[in-house]
């Protein structure tokens, strides 16, 4: 069990951890992640989320096959114009694409809806919960990463897992203890001053003090 860490330490050091040990994660710990997830806000407190925890080896393999195929098509050998990725991200994301099934658990975060196209508003009621899972994993000494490449095979994955039509999958999170060599730490982000405007778009100077 990891030592308790503070909120800001968790926020500042949370990052994508893609090298995971296959050791099982206790059920109570997985449920703790979901408990933290549902503390998140949702539109009108509608709580339209459902979380599918997948531990079955065959199901993990089949989902991972889809995930890997999607990776190959978007970033890998089958991509016609792969988006640029920093070499470290490419290396670790390739590792995850090749080894997703070895994570002891996958959490598929889903959202119920009334039909209609996928939208930012819909996502706004599930991604805060996903971020809570990532932060809770950080706090519990587990690794994870927000992934969405499975969406390339949304229908196949929904059929495989018996997910109804009025449910959209939002994120696939591998969960496991962190493998040697990987870990949490400082993240590289654009400076706050560069991406913050005050009162008017483009105005960087907010100093009134």
Ligand X SMILES: Cc1cc2nc3c(=O)[nH]c(=O)nc-3n(C[C@H](O)[C@H](O)[C@H](O)COP(=O)(O)O)c2cc1C
Nearer to ligand X, 18 or 122 (CB): 18
Residue 198 Cβ, how far from ligand X at the closest point, in Å? 26
Nearer to ligand X, 44 or 186 (CB): 186
Measured at CB, which residue is nearest to ligand X? Answer: 15
Nearer to ligand X, 15 or 158 (CB): 15
Residue 48 Cβ, how far from ligand X at the closest point, in Å? 19
Residue 179 Cβ, how far from ligand X at the closest point, in Å? 15
Rounded Cα–Cα distance for residues 78 and 69 (Å)? 9
Binding site for ligand X (CB under 6 A): 15-16, 18, 89, 93, 96, 145-149, 187
Nearer to ligand X, 166 or 187 (CB): 187
- Name beta bridge partners: 112: 167
């Amino acid at each position: 069990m990891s030592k308790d860490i503070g909120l800001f330490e968790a926020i500042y050091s949370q990052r994508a951890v893609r090298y995971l040990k296959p050791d099982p994660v206790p059920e109570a710990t997985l449920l703790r992640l979901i408990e933290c997830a549902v503390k998140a806000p949702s539109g009108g407190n509608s709580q339209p989320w459902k979380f599918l925890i997948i531990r079955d080896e065959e199901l993990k393999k089949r989902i991972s096959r889809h995930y890997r195929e999607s990776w190959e098509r978007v970033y890998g050998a089958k991509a016609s114009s792969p988006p640029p990725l920093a070499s470290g991200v490419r290396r670790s994301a390739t590792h995850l694409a090749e080894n997703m099934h070895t994570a002891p658990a996958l959490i598929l975060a889903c959202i119920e809806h009334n039909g209609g196209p996928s939208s930012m508003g819909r996502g706004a009621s599930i991604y805060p919960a996903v971020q809570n899972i990532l932060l809770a994993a950080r706090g519990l000494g587990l690794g994870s990463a927000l992934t969405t490449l499975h969406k390339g095979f949304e229908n196949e994955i929904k059929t495989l897992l018996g997910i109804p039509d009025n449910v959209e999958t939002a994120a696939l999170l591998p969960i496991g203890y962190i493998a040697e060599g990987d870990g949490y730490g400082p993240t590289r982000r654009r400076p706050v001053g560069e991406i913050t405007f005050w009162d008017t778009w483009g105005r960087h100077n907010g100093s009134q003090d």
